[in-house]
Chain A
Amino acid sequence: MAGLAILCILAVVAIVAPWITPYDPNATDLNTVLLQPGAPGHLLGTDELGRDVASRLLVGGRVSLIAALQGTGIALVIGVPLGLVSGFFGAWVDKVIMFVTDALMSFPALLLAMAIAGILGPNLTNAMTAIGLSTAPRAIRLVRGSVLGIREETYIEAARSIGTPSYQIVFRHILPNVLAPLVVFAAILAGTVMLIEAGLSFIGLGVQPPEASWGAMLGSAFTYISRSPWLAVFPGVCIAISVLALNVLGDGVRDSIGKKVRR
């Protein structure tokens, strides 16, 4: 479970970030701009305004992780109930929900998120709401698909023959059995959300200056890429490692669930 280990380290770092940064991440010092990594006092160098890159990475990581959590959370909060309703009750409810979902899915998530963030106004919470909304259709589809499979199991029929009310069938019999694929999906979705957040911040629709996030750092580093490539390398590597860790975690969870039978 290398993925889990990396994520735990990232989470701990993100939590304690404000107390371990060597400098104020937003403090500018125009005497020390664009210092190379390894410069005295600045382990990873400084950016175009003389801000400490290491400090900004730590704080930015916190922002990126919270953003990933927020976006995934919103996607699940919207997707799970709609997917359950759509899959369990079927009929016209299912048709309406699936029609909207299919329409939303025909847009690329990033494009949709850009449009929504553009309408709501550029800040991180709006960006995450936008990402949540634009990735919710995937959650709806996944949950609906699992529910359709589970609905045909005999234990659902048995519950109905006992006289168990529908809402209890959903919460006692269907939801726990949807959980396994959902955990896998959430881990992988968190990786995707992190990437989209980076993309939105890169084009200025996410976190606003002077706040740092990995995506925003990448965006501002873009201007100096030929002179100071390390400005782009560090946040880029951080994003890559986190997304990789989330995907590895998702795969690991899937494998371990496969072995233990559904429980």
Chain B
Amino acid sequence: MSTDKIVMQTEDLKVSFPVRRAGHSTTVQAVRGVDITLRAGETLGLVGESGSGKSTLARALMRLIPSEGTVKLDGRDVSGLKPGAFRKERKRIQMVFQDPYSSLNPSLTVGASIAEPLKVHTKLSAAERAERISEVLALVGLNADYADRYPDEFSGGQRQRVAIARAIVLNPEILVCDEAVSALDVSTQNQVINLLEELRDKIGLSYLFISHDLAVVRHISDYVAVMYLGEIVEEGPVDRIFGAAAHPYTQVLLNAVPVPDPVAQRATTKLLLRGDIPDPTNPPSGCAFHQRCPFAMEICAQKAPPKVEIPGGGVAKCHLHTSGPVLAGRAISSLTEAGTETGIGAAYDGTPKSTLPAVAVSGNLESSL
């Protein structure tokens, strides 16, 4: 489905916020040098825990918050553009937000909300706008008469359809979906996901699909990037990521997804994650994940891991591929199957070493059931 045309690319994208803590001010590096590439017609899934910087990345791409680094749309660097000049680019990249209850202005009719991008970016007459609004309402599976109604007359799923209609009314190339189905119940989720897939085929949209829900991401994505503490720690084609994760963090996330069969569930090796996501004002030395990694080695605390090409596609940032057991691109699961005999310092032995309570990453499976 995807072609080789790159519609969006970021290079070393960084976002930092000033924070004031206990009187003195410091900065939080919410996004720490992210390179992502989105190809035409492709869906790039972005996963990670709460606080990993997924939404911040989306907001930086939409220029809702200031960022450093390069963002290219269709190969053209737009990161240096002034706000006025960037406004023209906005019709190419639009966003769907998480909460359909607050993303629509309650005092405007649905039609007025959808008309807004047309008013800002086109010179269509009122009649032409009305025609276009009926078109997109039909496209998202809503009755054209709904244009005159107010958002509070609609359900969550219908509102999200309206929000999608607003986002596609200008025929953008890219749609950034920030947890766009997370606030919906499961059956509605399915409908909205099907709608997104339908739109991809009909009007050739590319998606940056941000979610903490691995099942949804696996279903919709062609390519997946895993984010941890503001960095992409692993990326690759969806089947490679879900079939042979090369980064321990990815493996931990995958293991946290419950399996419907209780027997199979008990049989899965439970890689556990210690503690919470680290304080982004004071990120750990070396690899940001080393304090929580079940396979942490000495080098992990000292040096940031290099990017390693993984056979089957994509890259991972982990020392395990170059030091210690030298996985050289093999999946993390090959370590856990070998058990303690791998001989690495902190190899996973079935029990957490720390006296801290071990927690599974439950935050990432809220709606995977």
Interface of A toward B, CB cutoff 8 Å: 153-155, 157-165, 168, 172-173, 176-177, 261-263
- Which of B106, B116, B152 contacts A162 (CB under 8 A)? B116
CB-defined interface of B88-113 with A at 8 Å, one 1/0 digit per residue? Answer: 00110011011100111111100001
Q: For residue A176, which residues in chain B have a CB less than 8 angstroms away from its CB?
A: 105, 107-108
- Which of A153, A155, A161, A168 contacts B62 (CB under 8 A)? A161
Q: B27-44: which residues lie under 8 A (CB-CB) from chain A?
A: none
Give A160 to B83 CA distance when docked, in angstroms.
11
Q: Which 9 A-B pairs have the closest CB atoms?
A: A163-B90, A176-B107, A154-B103, A154-B102, A163-B87, A155-B105, A161-B95, A161-B62, A162-B117
- Which of B107, B120, B121, B166 contacts A158 (CB under 8 A)? B166
B118 closest partner in A (C-beta) = A162
| A-B CB contact pairs (8 Å), 22 listed | A154-B97, A154-B99, A154-B102, A155-B104, A155-B105, A157-B64, A157-B97, A158-B97, A158-B104, A158-B163, A161-B62, A161-B64, A161-B94, A162-B166, A163-B120, A168-B120, A172-B105, A172-B108, A172-B116, A176-B107, A177-B105, A177-B107
Q: For residue A163, which residues in chain B have a CB less than 8 angstroms away from its CB?
A: 87, 90-91, 117, 120-121
User: Are B103 and A261 in contact, with the CB atoms below 8 A?
Assistant: no
Beyond A158-B166, A161-B95, is A177–B106 a contact (Cβ under 8 Å)? yes
Instruction: Determine if B150 is an interface residue (Cβ-Cβ < 8 Å).
Output: yes
Give A155 to B103 CA distance when docked, in angstroms.
4
CB distance from B233 to the nearest CB of A (A): 27
Give A262 to B107 CA distance when docked, in angstroms.
7
B121 closest partner in A (C-beta) = A163
10 additional contacts, CB 8 Å, given A155-B104, A158-B95?
A153-B102, A154-B99, A155-B105, A157-B103, A159-B116, A162-B90, A162-B166, A172-B116, A176-B108, A263-B106
Q: For residue B59, which residues in chain A have a CB less than 8 angstroms away from its CB?
A: 157
Q: For residue B113, which residues in chain A have a CB less than 8 angstroms away from its CB?
A: 155
Q: For residue B99, which residues in chain A have a CB less than 8 angstroms away from its CB?
A: 154
User: Are A263 and B166 in contact, with the CB atoms below 8 A?
Assistant: no
Q: For residue A172, which residues in chain B have a CB less than 8 angstroms away from its CB?
A: 105, 108, 116
Total number of A-B contacts with CB less than 8 angstroms?
Answer: 65
User: Are A162 and B94 in contact, with the CB atoms below 8 A?
Assistant: yes
Q: For residue A160, which residues in chain B have a CB less than 8 angstroms away from its CB?
A: 64
CB distance from B271 to the nearest CB of A (A): 35
Q: B49-91: which residues lie under 8 A (CB-CB) from chain A?
A: 59, 62, 64, 87, 90-91
CB distance from A93 to the nearest CB of B (A): 18
Q: For residue B152, which residues in chain A have a CB less than 8 angstroms away from its CB?
A: 261, 263
CB distance from A148 to the nearest CB of B (A): 15
Q: For residue A158, which residues in chain B have a CB less than 8 angstroms away from its CB?
A: 95, 97, 103-104, 163, 166
A176 closest partner in B (C-beta) = B107
Give A153 to B99 CA distance when docked, in angstroms.
10
CB distance from B163 to the nearest CB of A (A): 7
Q: B159-181: which residues lie under 8 A (CB-CB) from chain A?
A: 163, 166
Q: For residue A154, which residues in chain B have a CB less than 8 angstroms away from its CB?
A: 97-99, 102-103
CB distance from A157 to the nearest CB of B (A): 6
Q: For residue B103, which residues in chain A have a CB less than 8 angstroms away from its CB?
A: 154-155, 157-158
CB distance from A163 to the nearest CB of B (A): 4
User: Are A164 and B105 in contact, with the CB atoms below 8 A?
Assistant: no
Give A153 to B97 CA distance when docked, in angstroms.
11
Give A163 to B78 CA distance when docked, in angstroms.
15
CB distance from B64 to the nearest CB of A (A): 6
Q: For residue A157, which residues in chain B have a CB less than 8 angstroms away from its CB?
A: 59, 64, 97, 103
Q: For residue A162, which residues in chain B have a CB less than 8 angstroms away from its CB?
A: 90, 94, 116-117, 120, 166
Q: For residue A153, which residues in chain B have a CB less than 8 angstroms away from its CB?
A: 102, 105
CB-defined interface of B112-141 with A at 8 Å, one 1/0 digit per residue? Answer: 010011001100000000000000000000
Give A157 to B96 CA distance when docked, in angstroms.
11
User: Are B106 and A261 in contact, with the CB atoms below 8 A?
Assistant: yes
Q: For residue B95, which residues in chain A have a CB less than 8 angstroms away from its CB?
A: 158, 161
